[in-house]
């Protein structure tokens, strides 16, 4: 039977902790900064927060390299701070999801340290993927797999063995065939659930199991059949986790980061006894073009219906190009393998489309994700000086891909110059430099401006909560002019998006609830969207 849990309709705000708000003045966001800004999030009108990793980490990959899964990194605070934050978020009516990184840990994790200290063949190495190399002297990697960050997926040790890492060398892959690994993560889930965490976002959810024998992928691999992702065995892991989550009186939830090429593969993670939901990357990657958007929406609804999972909608996250920038380019798609840094961008066009997209995603059935700064209309920062770049992608790609820092720049809260209220007065510089032009985009600057992105998000989230979250999980398309998409939710609400370059007529309606651009003579301007009461 379909559950009516809060997560089916939640608006979830993604906190990239390092860049949200700095409480202690070291130039890096932390729990104290986040706690102080909880009233902002409550006022924004979101239902839940998802925090990117907060565990102890050397930060080789922004915390996605965990050295202790049961403690908080000192950059962010202490375990007591985390508990205090959870209690306060709950008091303010906000649920909290945190990131779980089960595919790999840090090379500073005690397990990996013990593995390195042990000789080849020692059981301490069995929690990871250690293998002898190929070639006469074992000088070649054990197979031809490539790291997602560039370069080989294997690193050789002085004793001659190689270990597997699908991301940076500081992120050794865990061996999920090992019972000890499974038991450890089951315990980690309980550790945080017992402290009040409402759920987990699961990093690289498709990657935990590998095809036995670790076969080569060859020169022209089929992206839907890779030996390091979407192995059948992964589903058993999520069934076991689901039983743990369902064992709590207020059941806890999982959202999967499932990047897979086909929806047939994707949807299997959302079967009723597996993950509750997953990010809709097909939508995130889709061009801002009416036929493509309509098809993606239909596919999404059809696929999720098969398994009774709620659809989700996401425009940006900490791994992508901010959509204000993406939608201002000629090619508005997103491709993880080619971020097209420096492509010509029309920021005004990108911003108009981002406003329209905000109303589109907030009108659709299911859950929706807002990445911090979406609500301020932040663009990708494309001119971070190369010597300030922190993302390991930059080094691993041999300086061909600047990576993801451009969407991770600390938020502008107030004032006319950096750090724009991100840190307290007298603090260290923010860990990534903020553009001077962000003075016009601070929360303080946008609050009094009725036409600002922030005000649009606040109004839309309030209307969504009041009118849309109790409606059935489907839509009905309304026939109309070419290049204009319109759909109904129930009998009383419609959303219209004008993808054309000319003003468009609105379908029959009783009232206009909200528009992304002011109507002109009753027409919806180019790149505009509207919410209507019918």
CB of 150 to ligand NOJ, least distance (A): 12
CB of 371 to ligand NOJ, least distance (A): 11
CB atoms inside a 10 Å sphere around CB 139 = 11
Q: Which residues bind ligand NOJ (CB under 6 A)?
A: 61, 64, 101, 167, 203-204, 257, 318-319
Q: Does the annotation mark 203 as catalytic?
A: yes
Question: Distance of CA 259 to CAs 202, 429, 496, 516, Å?
Answer: 12, 35, 29, 31
Question: Distance of CA 146 to CAs 149, 150, 164, 169, 186, Å?
Answer: 8, 6, 10, 12, 29
Q: Could you tell me the two tokens for 273?
A: 């006894």
If the CB atoms of residues 269 and 487 are measured against ligand NOJ, the closer one turns out to be: 269
For 421-476, the three-class secondary structure string (H helix, E strand, C coil) is CCCCCCCCCCCCCCCHHHHHHCHHHHCCCCCCHHHHHHHHHHHHHHHHCCCCCCCE
Helix (H) or strand (E) holding 55: strand 55-56
CB of 437 to ligand NOJ, least distance (A): 26
CB atoms inside a 10 Å sphere around CB 477 = 12
Helix (H) or strand (E) holding 180: helix 179-194
CB 278 within 8 A of CB 265: no
CA distance 192 to 216: 38
Q: How many CA atoms lie within 13 A of 382 on its CB side?
A: 15
Question: Reduced to 3 states, what is the DSSP secondary structure of residue 134?
Answer: strand
Residue 437: partners with Cβ closer than 8 Å, 6 or more residues away: none
CB of 55 to ligand NOJ, least distance (A): 12
CB of 131 to ligand NOJ, least distance (A): 21
CB of 374 to ligand NOJ, least distance (A): 16
Residue 154: partners with Cβ closer than 8 Å, 6 or more residues away: 131, 133, 141, 142, 143, 145, 162, 163, 164, 165
If the CB atoms of residues 125 and 318 are measured against ligand NOJ, the closer one turns out to be: 318
If the CB atoms of residues 173 and 517 are measured against ligand NOJ, the closer one turns out to be: 173
- The one catalytic residue among 230, 257, 380, 527: 257
CB of 153 to ligand NOJ, least distance (A): 13
CB of 247 to ligand NOJ, least distance (A): 27
If the CB atoms of residues 101 and 209 are measured against ligand NOJ, the closer one turns out to be: 101
Q: Could you tell me the two tokens for 215?
A: 């076969």
CA 182 vs. chain centroid, Å, equals 24
Provide φ and ψ at 533, rounded to 5°: -95, 135
If the CB atoms of residues 9 and 103 are measured against ligand NOJ, the closer one turns out to be: 103
If the CB atoms of residues 72 and 101 are measured against ligand NOJ, the closer one turns out to be: 101
CB 155 within 8 A of CB 165: yes
CB of 167 to ligand NOJ, least distance (A): 4
If the CB atoms of residues 197 and 204 are measured against ligand NOJ, the closer one turns out to be: 204
Strands 48-51 and 95-100: parallel
- The one catalytic residue among 22, 198, 203, 473: 203
If the CB atoms of residues 18 and 318 are measured against ligand NOJ, the closer one turns out to be: 318
CB 63 within 8 A of CB 55: yes
- What residue number has its CB nearest to ligand NOJ? 64
* Nearest to 443, CA basis, from 21, 3, 4: 21
If the CB atoms of residues 203 and 375 are measured against ligand NOJ, the closer one turns out to be: 203
Catalytic residue IDs: 203, 257
């Amino acid at each position: 039977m379909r559950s009516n849990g809060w997560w089916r309709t939640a608006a979830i705000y993604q906190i990239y902790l390092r860049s949200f708000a700095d409480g202690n003045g070291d130039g890096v966001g932390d729990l104290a900064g986040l706690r102080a800004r909880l009233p902002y999030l409550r006022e924004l009108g979101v239902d839940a927060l998802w925090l990117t990793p907060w565990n102890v980490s050397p930060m080789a990959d922004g915390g996605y390299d965990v050295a202790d899964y049961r403690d908080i990194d000192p950059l962010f605070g202490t375990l007591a701070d985390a508990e205090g934050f959870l209690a306060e978020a709950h008091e303010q009516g906000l649920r909290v999801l945190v990131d779980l990184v089960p595919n790999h840990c840090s090379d500073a994790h005690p397990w990996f340290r013990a593995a390195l200290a042990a000789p080849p063949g020692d059981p301490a190495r069995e929690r990871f993927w250690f293998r002898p190399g190929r070639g006469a002297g074992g000088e070649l990697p054990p197979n031809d797999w490539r790291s997602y960050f560039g370069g080989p997926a294997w690193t050789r040790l002085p004793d001659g063995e190689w270990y597997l890492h699908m991301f940076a060398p500081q992120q050794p892959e865990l061996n999920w065939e090992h019972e000890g690994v499974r038991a450890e993560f089951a315990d980690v889930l309980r550790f945080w659930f017992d402290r009040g965490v409402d759920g987990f976002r699961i990093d690289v959810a498709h990657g935990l199991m590998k095809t036995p024998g670790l076969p080569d992928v060859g020169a022209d691999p089929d992206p839907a059949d890779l030996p390091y992702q979407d192995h059948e065995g992964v589903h058993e892991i999520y069934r076991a986790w689901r039983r743990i989550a369902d064992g709590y009186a207020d059941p806890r939830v999982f959202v999967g980061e499932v990047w897979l090429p086909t929806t047939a593969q994707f949807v299997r993670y959302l079967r009723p006894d597996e993950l509750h939901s997953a990010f809709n990357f097909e939508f995130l990657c889709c061009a801002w073009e009416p036929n493509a958007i309509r098809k993606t929406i239909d596919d999404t609804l059809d696929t999720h219906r098969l398994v009774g999972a709620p659809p989700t909608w996401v425009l940006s996250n900490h791994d992508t190009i901010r959509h204000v920038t993406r939608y201002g380019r000629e090619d508005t798609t997103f491709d993880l393998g080619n971020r097209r840094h420096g492509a010509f961008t029309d920021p005004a066009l990108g911003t108009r489309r981002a406003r329209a997209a905000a109303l589109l995603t907030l009108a659709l059935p299911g859950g929706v994700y807002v990445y911090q700064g979406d609500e301020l209309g932040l663009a990708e920062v494309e001119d971070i000086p190369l010597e300030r770049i922190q993302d390991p992608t930059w080094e691993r790609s041999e300086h061909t891909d600047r990576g993801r820092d451009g969407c991770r720049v600390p938020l502008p809260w107030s004032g006319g110059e950096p750090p724009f209220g991100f840190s307290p007065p007298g603090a260290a510089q923010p860990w990534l430099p903020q553009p001077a032009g962000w003075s016009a985009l601070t929360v303080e600057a946008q609050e009094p401006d009725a036409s600002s992105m922030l005000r649009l998000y606040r109004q839309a989230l309030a209307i969504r909560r009041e009118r849309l979250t109790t409606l059935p999980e489907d839509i009905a398309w309304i026939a109309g002019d070419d290049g204009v998409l319109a759909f109904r939710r129930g009998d009383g609400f419609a959303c219209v998006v004008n993808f054309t370059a000319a003003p468009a007529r609105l379908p029959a309606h009783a009232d206009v609830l909200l528009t992304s651009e002011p109507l002109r003579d009753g027409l919806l301007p180019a790149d505009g969207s509207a919410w209507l009461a019918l």
